[in-house]
Amino acid sequence: MLNRIYEAQRLMGAACEALGRQINIMEVCGTHTVSIFRNGIRTTLPERLKMLSGPGCPVCVTDQGYIDITLQLADRDDCIIATYGDMIRVPGKEGSLETRHKPNVKVVLSSEDALTLAKDNPEKTVVFIAVGFETTAPATAVAVAEAVQTGVDNFCVLSGHKLVVPAMEALLSEKNHKIDAFLCPGHVSVIIGSDAYIPVVERFRRPCVVAGFEPMQVIEGIGQICRQLAEKTAKVGSIYDAVVTPEGNTTAQRIISEYFQPVDGYWRGLGSIPNSTLKLKTKYSRFDALKRFGVDEVPGEDLSGCRCGEVLCGLIDPTECALFEAKCTPDGPVGPCMVSSEGACAAWYKYGRGQKRNS
Amino acid sequence: MCLAVPARIVEMENDKAVVDALGNRWNVRTTLTPEVKMGDIVLIHAGFAIAKVDEEDAKETWELIAQFDEFQQKRDESSKES
């Protein structure tokens, strides 16, 4: 194993020398962010190699406007809000799903649990807070399919599902030109396949390497990116071949496209991105919470001084936000990147403080 | 949020299955992986199997998880002693 680490380090050193400037590699997955911090990988990198934590945590990228809709629906007595646990502490304009202590907010572990809630509570409408990337979207689609089949009408979905590749393209074309390469998310790639990154490689000439989440895979993923940077090539690579194929999980892709269509959507920090958000197709619109309750999604404004948006684009480190550690901590979070255990600010707070290198 | 763990299918009926990882069992759906069968190891995310996993790769992850437990136990014991 040591030999593999030495080889990766050699490649990183060679890339730094070949480029003669700081190298910025963005990880686009919250689980990578945590793995990199928890395993102390940051401190082992060359000084001129910097890891940026990108828009890879679904809770973090969810726009403030969406959070406010969840709160608005939680205020209705005829609704039950079924949400993955990560979402309940994200502050909206007035408190969070947690601080409002509403008995109608239920944490679920899967979309199927949400559907079961609907079956068990026929007098209420269950709103499933459907966030997550391509990994999670198929599960939502299957729940809608089952609601159709079993005639469960008191179930609907507030879809905030996001697509990873449009966000990577938006970052490179607009927000952050300094990103040299992407360490691509392991489990999103199980679904979309590594070929999904070909447009990023071809259009922007940036290496894209898929890696799993164990420390060795992350280190070797960074090593493979560095090899490409030193050779001045840009290709799609993968060191997660055990579960990631070039074409991905085609059954899951088919289910996503049967129920959802990509539309322009708001992201925290990145604004509106074309074809980046999944909404239910018209034929399933009776399961769309926005349509059912006649709510419009408008981009939210965050007046708290929180700089999560810039963190998500890799423009600043969490420590550069005035609220970090002072007003914003995991116990009293102001922004979503501190709420989610996979957020860059939370990872930085827990593992990164006091680490001087690569900060 | 996109965390996933490998687990072995120990019961199966249509697309509903029970999986086992290190003795923990829970219900999942195999709707997204129609090719899997009884005894296969699958990667589970949010209640769904999303990919079939190699026996060797799964073992590596399970060993790692078992090591965490061991480490935690040792740490708890040593903190009690001090």
CATH code given to domain A1-303: 3.40.50.11740
> What is the predicted pLDDT for the residue at B54?
86
Query: What are the backbone angles phi and psi of residue A179, rounded to the nearest 5°?
Result: -70, 125
What strands, in cross-sheet order, belong to the sheet with A155-159? Answer: A105-107, A79-83, A125-130, A155-159
In the predicted model, what is the mean pLDDT of chain A?
93
Does residue A358 register a pLDDT over 80?
Answer: no
Subunit contact B31:A142, Cβ cutoff 8 A: yes
Of A265, A292, A293, give the one whose Cα is nearest residue A279: A265
Q: Which of B1, B48, B52 sits opposite A59 (nearest CB)?
A: B1
Does residue B81 register a pLDDT over 70?
Answer: no
Any A CB within 8 A of B54 CB: yes
Subunit contact B31:A188, Cβ cutoff 8 A: no
Task: Provide the residue ranges of all domains of chain A, joining segments of one domain with +.
Answer: 1-303, 308-350
Q: What is the pLDDT of residues A259-309, one digit of tens each?
A: 999 999 999 888 999 999 999 999 999 999 999 999 988 887 776 889 999
Q: What is the pLDDT of residues A103-156, one digit of tens each?
A: 899 999 999 999 999 999 999 999 999 999 999 999 999 999 999 999 999 999
Distance CA A236, CA A203 (A): 12
Assigned token pair, A46: 């060359």
A135: chain B residues, CB-CB within 8 Å: 1-2, 4, 45-46, 50
B40, B18 Cβ separation under 8 angstroms: no
Whole-structure pTM value: 0.91
Subunit contact A186:B31, Cβ cutoff 8 A: no
List domains and CATH numbers for chain B.
Answer: 5-81 (2.30.30.140)
A255, A145 Cβ separation under 8 angstroms: yes
| Interface mutation vs chain A, best among B16, B32, B42, most A CBs within 10 Å | B32
Reduced to 3 states (helix: H, G, I; strand: E, B; else coil), residue A25 is: strand
Any A CB within 8 A of B2 CB: yes
A236-238 and A105-107 strand pairing: unpaired
Distance CA B56, CA A255 (A): 30
A132: chain B residues, CB-CB within 8 Å: 1-2, 46
Distance CA A261, CA A298 (A): 19
Q: What is the pLDDT of residues A12-45, one digit of tens each?
A: 999 999 999 999 999 999 999 999 998 889 889 9
CA distance B79 to chain A (A): 21
Q: What is the pLDDT of residues A183-239, one digit of tens each?
A: 999 999 999 999 999 999 999 999 999 999 888 999 999 999 999 999 999 999 999
Any B CB within 8 A of A276 CB: no
Q: Which of left, alpha, beta for A255 (phi over 0: left; psi -120 to 50: alpha)?
A: alpha
Subunit contact A136:B4, Cβ cutoff 8 A: no
